[in-house]
Amino acid sequence: MTASLEAEAARLRLPPGFQVKAFDHVGSTNDEAKALARSGVGGFGAEGTIVWARRQDSGRGRRGRAWTSPEGNLYCTTILRPGRPPAEAAQISFLAALAIAETAESVLPDPGGVRCKWPNDVLVHDRKLSGILLESEPAADGTVAWVVLGVGINLRHFPATTEYGATALIAEGAPAMGPGALLEVYAGHLATWYGRWREHGFAPVREAWLARAKGLGGPILVRLGDRTIPGTFADLDSDGVLLLDPTDGGPRQRIAAGDVFFSDPSAA
């Protein structure tokens, strides 16, 4: 870490219980955070540690997809120790989406253009702004020993060719700012939603997420590993599963994992 980055990290105004370990570049902030989490609950392995890098050389998204990581965007991973079963810990992706959405709303001139796309994307004017990657390790008692919450937010740069169109905050009219300033805003919203989830469970997270949900009540395509199902986005279940009413009139389906599209991706 250069002296300038170390000084910037030390000046960051973070919520109580949060701290930053900063790098000029890493392979993956998630990989760095996992190594710290495995080292124990003290020091930089503690809950609330944020691994922040100016650049990732091997960033990745869900299902191992590559995540382009040029300098100028925000790349960070937060260590959390919720002590919950894996199915409950997976809900953290929804509160992370809310934290990103509120971050975007706070810096954009048109906050009404921010939407959440199931399962864990945040859109601005129907273009993808961010990525979320949740990874965990089991504990002996059946809970998770820790969760690392990886987040990438497009601040200055975004890929020009993606399956689902992308954008960046500055491209959408946000004022010029650095990744460190954006990290302060994001960490504040994350701390609020994490505390709310710990105290009140998934219900308030679900309510706030649904208020921003893209496509709720309308037609969608859900692409699974071996097929694509057209239907209506009926609701979000109490555990975060998407409820789909198939177009063919079949019974309502619970979709735990998949990719959602609002038009046929093969037609693009």
Q: Is 215 exposed, middle or buried (0-12, 13-18, 19+ CB in 10 A)?
A: middle
Amino acid in position 248? D
Q: How confident is the model at residue 226 (pLDDT cuts 50, 70, 90)?
A: confident
Tokens of 169: 């905050």
* Residue 145, phi then psi, degrees to nearest 5: -70, -35
| CATH of range 3-211; options 1.10.760.10, 3.30.930.10, 3.40.50.150, 3.40.50.12160 | 3.30.930.10
Spatial contact of 198 and 82, defined as CB atoms under 8 Å apart: yes
pLDDT at residue 208 tops 50? yes
The residues, ordered by sequence, that sit 6+ positions from 90 with a Cβ below 8 Å of its Cβ are 134, 240
Report the top-level CATH class of 219-267. mainly beta
Q: Identify the pLDDT of residue 172.
A: 96
123-146 mean pLDDT:
96
Residue 133 — very low, low, confident or very high, per pLDDT cuts 50/70/90? very high
Provide the 3-class DSSP secondary structure of residue 265: helix
Tally DSSP H helices, then E strands, for the chain.
6, 13
Instruction: Using the predicted structure, report yes or no on whether residue 267 has a pLDDT greater than 50.
Output: no
Query: In DSSP terms, which residues pair with 150 in a beta bridge?
Result: 77, 133
Does 189 have pLDDT greater than 60?
yes
Q: What's the mean pLDDT in 247-254?
A: 93
193 within 8 A of 151, measured Cβ to Cβ = no
Q: What region, left, alpha or beta, does residue 249 occupy, with left being phi > 0 and alpha being psi -120 to 50 degrees?
A: left
Q: What share of the chain is helix, strand, coil (3-state, %, to 5)?
A: 30, 30, 35
What pLDDT was estimated at residue 200? 97
Distance CA(157)–CA(73), nearest Å, equals 7
Pick from 116, 105, 128: which is nearest to 215 by CA? 116
Rounded average pLDDT over 191-197: 98
User: pLDDT at position 86, please?
Assistant: 95
Where residue 57 falls among pLDDT bands split at 50, 70, 90?
confident
**Cβ neighbours for 141, distance < 8 A, ≥ 6 positions apart:** none
User: Which of 197 and 3 is assigned the larger pLDDT?
Assistant: 197
Q: Is the pLDDT of residue 101 over 90?
A: yes
Would you call 134 helix, strand, or coil by DSSP?
A: strand
What single string gives the DSSP state of each residue in 76-91?
EEEEE-----HHHHTT
Amino acid 68: pLDDT: 61
Domain coordinates in residue numbering, the chain:
3-211, 219-267
Rounded Cα distance, 231 and 246, in Å: 4
Whether 64 has a pLDDT exceeding 70, the answer reads no
Average pLDDT over residues 7-12: 86
Please, are residues 247 and 231 in contact by the beta-carbon 8 Å criterion?
yes
Strand 130-138, strand 114-117: pairing: unpaired
pLDDT bucket at 268, cuts 50 / 70 / 90: very low
